Amino acid sequence: MIPRPVVSTRRGEPTSDGAGVRLVRVIGTPGLDQLDPFLLLDEFRSDDASDYGAGFPDHPHRGFETVTYMLAGEMEHRDHAGNRGRLTAGSVQWMTAGRGIIHSEMPKQQDGLMWGFQLWVNLPAKHKMTAPRYQDIPPERIPVVEKDGAVVRVVAGSFGEVVGPVRDVVTAPLYLDVALRAGATFECPLTGDRSGFVYVFEGAVEVGEAHLERGTLGVLGTGELVRATAGPQPGRFLLVAAQPLREPIARMGPFVMNTRAELAQAVDDLQSGSFLRTG
């Protein structure tokens, strides 16, 4: 099988979002505006409560999905329909905003480490106005595979015969959290034309001829598998892939549609109060 090379690398840019949460934006920057169907990747990591304590108060979304994966800390989400849940270390939430949702994501701790990722995944035009839904997955439901010096948490998609708990996502995603011991090599088939990336968040790994250190994203080229090797120190990374949509993107803040007219309609719906009743 032909390994996928790394065709470009990007490091994140410090920024803030919500009510002033400090984070690093890796996808969704001038250097990497998108990687179809991925619209945004943020890493938030701090043990200073002033960096994250204000959280993400009520805000709307339409037309895409948000994926929140926690490594440390606790976050509570609530929405306009009365849904409520708690994200803890090792858990994931795959939220389909669809036609519209207003929600908040607020820290449930006064101090200590808050660490995780948020990924935005675009929806195809025919699914943008679908009904909102959540897939809240606690840590114990995420299967773990140990093989050849790798510890793999399978969030979505499959690794070998193990299938992740996130289901029924139209872009057929693969989302793996891979920890490699020093000197170990990890291989995962990734055939077809799915877009993909590796994001290293501990240590360093080699993917093809690319050396990816902590905080570096490697965009994967074409091939049939992903091969990553840790050096003299352990490494840990996300491997994420999904089917590209190849559709026009019209984007404004929390709305991602296909045309400017659809964006204008989303704003009108929000301002008129019909946002949550549309569809």
Q: Which residue has the tokens 């490699």?
A: 180
204: Cα separation from own chain's centroid: 20
Whether residue 75 is predicted with pLDDT greater than 80 in this model: the reply is yes
Q: How confident is the model at residue 277 (pLDDT cuts 50, 70, 90)?
A: low
Whether residue 195 is predicted with pLDDT greater than 90 in this model: the reply is yes
Q: How confident is the model at residue 236 (pLDDT cuts 50, 70, 90)?
A: very high
Whether residue 278 is predicted with pLDDT greater than 80 in this model: the reply is no
**CA 24 to each of CA 11, 49, 61, 85, 170: distance values in angstroms, whole numbers, following the listed order:** 9, 16, 21, 25, 27
Whether residue 170 is predicted with pLDDT greater than 50 in this model: the reply is yes
272 vs 164, more confident: 164
Average pLDDT, the chain: 95
- Work out the burial of residue 157: count CB atoms within 10 Å of its CB; fewer than 13 is exposed, 13-18 middle, 19 or more buried: buried
Q: What is the pTM of this model?
A: 0.96
Please say whether the dihedral angle defined by the alpha carbons of residues 194, 200, 205 and 211, taken in this order, is positive or negative.
positive
Whether residue 275 is predicted with pLDDT greater than 90 in this model: the reply is no
**CA 129 to each of CA 73, 122, 124, 276: distance values in angstroms, whole numbers, following the listed order:** 32, 12, 10, 11
Q: Domain 6-277 has what CATH class?
A: mainly beta
Whether residue 166 is predicted with pLDDT greater than 90 in this model: the reply is yes
pLDDT of residue 49: 93
pLDDT of residue 159: 98
Q: Model confidence over 107-148: pLDDT tens digits?
A: 998 899 999 999 999 999 999 999 999 999 999 999 999 999
Q: What percent of the chain clears pLDDT 70, i.e. is strictly above it?
A: 99
HSE-CB for 52 with a 13 A CA cutoff: 26
Q: How confident is the model at residue 80 (pLDDT cuts 50, 70, 90)?
A: confident
pLDDT of residue 279: 45
Whether residue 83 is predicted with pLDDT greater than 70 in this model: the reply is yes
